[in-house]
Amino acid sequence: MSGSMFTVRLLGAAATLMLAAACGSTTNTSSVSSKQSVTPGSGASATTSAAGGAVGVATTSLGPILVDNKGFTVYMLTADTKGHSTCSAQCLQYWPLVPAPAGADMPPVQGVSAALATTKATSGASMLTAGGWPLYTFVKDKAPGQVAGEGVKTFGGTWYGVSPSGTPLMASAKPAPATTSSGVKGSSGY
């Protein structure tokens, strides 16, 4: 068998194995760009493009914004400092962190000009940063494109969506929801 024929067969076998592995996988952690449609009527338009399974870009009522791998708006907290999260365990119940992708290399993301890196949450978990800001989602965003967390003042600061350049998208600030499940205003405002 010639060398080039052997190489072609070897590449074909490798491609078949990768395809089989991808079909049998239950999670999507590939570094290949994926496109997902945003649900009509959800307040978002266009498609998102997420590399490394971490973040992408979508257009919402706030304009172009970073989204997580499910298309949900990504936020930053003004109480954080660049590279340091102040969001406690109680905070993380309402503002889940955007987990850092596995591996040391941070793949580039189409449409994102902010430097992407990682930091540690107060829980010790590794989380993604954009332009140095630790990134979170919001539990009250129920569908891709929603921006219910924009301008919420709670946990020592104000929450803003994050632009593709890593800067906060500052719409008008609004207070946290007034009651907890017991009907009494709580420290978290939820």
User: What digits encode the pLDDT tens for the residues 92-134?
Assistant: 999 999 999 877 667 678 889 999 999 999 999 999 999 999 9
- Does the residue 10 lie in any domain? no
Classify residue 147: in a domain, yes or no.
yes
Distance CA 88, CA 39 (A): 32
Q: Are 54 and 116 in contact (CB under 8 A)?
A: yes
Could you tell me if residue 152 is inside a domain? Answer: yes
Domain hosting 81: range is 45-175
**Within a domain: residue 51?**
yes
- Which single residue is written with the structure tokens 């994926």? 34
Q: Does pTM surpass 0.85?
A: no
Helix (H, G, I), strand (E, B) or coil at 1: coil
d(CA 93, CA 14): 42
Per the domain annotation, does 4 fall within a domain? no
Domain assignment present for 135: yes
Q: How many domains does the chain have?
A: 1
In tens, the pLDDT along 122-180 reads: 999 999 999 999 999 999 999 999 999 999 999 999 999 999 999 999 865 455 555 44
